[in-house]
Amino acid sequence: MTEQHSSGQDSTAITVVGLGPMGSALAQTLLDRGRSLTVWNRTAGKADALVAKGAHRAATIAEAVAASPVTITCLNDYATMYQVFDSTDGAFQGRTLVNLTSGTPAEARMTADWAAERDLGYLDGAIMVPPPLVGRPESVLLYAGPREVFDRHRATLALLGDPRHLGTDPGLAVLLNTALLEMMYATLNGFLHGAALVGSANVSASEFAELALGWFMPVVLDPASLAEQAANLDEGAYPGDLGTMQMNLNALEHIVRTSVEQGVHSDQPRLMKELAEHAIAQGHGTENYFAMFEIFKRGRGPMPGGGR
């Protein structure tokens, strides 16, 4: 199919830079929604499938940026973003960059300053779903930066999912993304370590999952219950009526000892045990386990036994 060029004057035009799995999903979704799409990737061949469906392949990054009022980019990291865009200063003037590249809050804030120096509207964002779910109404995408920039392009952003504006601090989207990813990995590691523990006695992962996911998670880690506890975190209230940090330390010690006995990797439960010991040393022994929040808030410090 002949490549079609998107005019930079077209208010429905949009550019996508970076055509890895996520960038390609973003671009395909915009094409499916009828947007006039320009694409650019350092490896030009990655655009072939999109071009065959009607996207315009820009010859240069400057052409890609100039083609649309808004450019969405999804690259490996912020350093790559600078390498790609540093030669496009003139093309960017008066336009908007929506950066969905992973990184840290400090990197996002530095990039917002970089954008401001170039008269470039800037939103930093995070995609909270895997590529196949991009474009679904229930799929959440986080954005941070000037509210007026978000509002100006909200209709376009809504094509990709449910756009949530978190505030004007450009570091907020990547910060919440990181926090949610940490929660995901910690939960997955707990499940995987538990499956390894029971597997040491020839209990199948399927059998373990039936109990862990069918009963334990919904009852013990009920989202509604955690939401209620969030208010206590904000107030610093951790009543130990139904269980104390000291009681939880006993349980964590059992997990470490059992892991060692069964020949299962014990570093993860050992770290949790050391954290509980640290919390008790800091005066939280008679409070409930949610007092661990106070330890996490204070940053890294010495733990019992010389741990860090």
Domain boundary among 169, 201, 236: 169
* Alpha-helix residue ranges (DSSP H) falling in 86-142: 89-92, 105-116
- The vertex-124 CA angle with 119 and 129, nearest 5°, equals 150
Residue 138 has pLDDT above 70, yes or no: yes
Q: Is residue 149 part of a domain?
A: yes
Give the distance from CA 173 to its chain's centroid: 8
pTM for this one? 0.86
Give residue-wise pLDDT tens across range 57-106.
999 999 999 999 999 999 999 999 999 998 776 778 889 999 999 999 99
| Token pair 């809050």 in the structure block, residue | 105
3-state secondary structure (DSSP) of residue 190: helix
- 164 forms beta bridges with 142
Structure tokens at 170: 């450009």
Side chain identity, residue 17: V
Residue 220 has pLDDT above 90, yes or no: no
Same domain, residue pair 162 and 195: no
Residue 54 has pLDDT above 50, yes or no: yes
pLDDT confidence of 2, banded at 50, 70, 90?
very low
Q: Is residue 5 part of a domain?
A: no
Domain boundary among 169, 188, 223: 169
pLDDT confidence of 224, banded at 50, 70, 90?
confident
- 144 forms beta bridges with 124
Same domain, residue pair 145 and 195: no
